[in-house]
Homo-oligomer: A and B are copies of this chain.
Amino acid sequence: MSLSKNQLKLITSLRKKKYRVTSNLFIAEGIKVVNEFLESDFELERLFCVDASHFKNCENVTLISEADLKKASSLSTPNNVIAIFKIPVTNFIENEGLVLALDEVNDPGNLGTIIRLCDWFGIDQLICSKDTVDCYNAKVVQASMGSLTRVAVFYTDLKVYLKSTKKAKYATLMDGENVYKTTLPKEAVLVMGNEANGISTPILNLLDNAISIPRFGNLQQTESLNVATATAILLSEFKRTN
């Protein structure tokens, strides 16, 4: 009925990417999110919870106190459970349909929202540049609400991927073609860029098409859309027309 010092140390260490990389482990929290991982192909390492009735037929369960939960949790309002899962080994073999690629998206909330959007729009492969925020970051895991169990996220050299794929390649820019007036193909890679700087030049040079979401305001002052809301609109456009 308690969390050992070493267990607490392991859990808090997994907030840092370098410990996730060396241990191949990550943390999920909350009854709903943890159950989604349990029901998926992800492999549980250990589960710590206050009330085990939410996790039937589950091995590797340690009961802990509310006080221990609070100590170990990265959430402001912890919700019963902290689970350690193994980071799966994934091999990328390109599927049919739309692939989304992210070039240095930094904000964990944005990445989490984008993974959830991929899940909604049936996009099961998300390719990230190596400097995109880690999808096993605790904030990404929470913001994606279990969608990580259904969307495969690959970190790779985007240049190598873009050179190898035969899909049509779309950049999202401020001055591209009006997306509402463009015929979008079913087989495509859509590239979204960094929050502050957009798509980097070496990546941009490898893309064939540039699209934009037109601005409707009279005053041309709104600087840009947030990368997650822009992704929402563009995935909607690719999917409604294909």
Is A229 an interface residue, CB under 8 A from the partner? Answer: yes
Residue of B117, B218, B239 touching A229 (CB-CB under 8 A):
B117
User: When the two chains form their complex, are residues B122 and A217 in contact, meaning their CB atoms are under 8 A apart?
Assistant: yes
CA of A223 to CA of B35 in the docked complex: distance in angstroms?
A: 14
Chain B residue numbers with a CB within 8 Å of A230 are 232
14 example contacts (A-B, Cβ-Cβ < 8 A) are as follows A109-B109, A116-B222, A119-B222, A120-B216, A120-B217, A120-B222, A121-B216, A122-B216, A122-B217, A150-B217, A150-B219, A150-B221, A230-B232, A236-B237
Query: A233 on the interface (CB 8 Å rule)?
Result: yes
Could you tell me which residues of chain A, from 182 to 241, have a CB within 8 Å of some CB in chain B? 213, 215-219, 221-223, 225-226, 228-230, 232-233, 236-237, 239-240
| Identical chains bound together, number | 2
A 44-75 binary contact with B (CB < 8 Å = 1; else 0): 00000000000000000000000000000000
Alpha-carbon distance A239/B120, docked complex (angstroms): 22
A180 (CB) vs chain B CBs: closest residue: B240
- For the complex, is A113 an interface residue (Cβ under 8 Å from B)? yes
Interface bits A112-130 vs B (CB < 8 Å: 1, else 0): 0100110111100000000
Across-interface contacts of A147 in B (CB, < 8 A): 222
Q: Say whether B119 contacts A217, CB under 8 Å.
A: yes
Task: Return chain B residues, CB-CB under 8 Å to A240.
Answer: 180
Interface string of A83-124 (1 = CB under 8 A from B): 000000000000000000000000001000100110111100
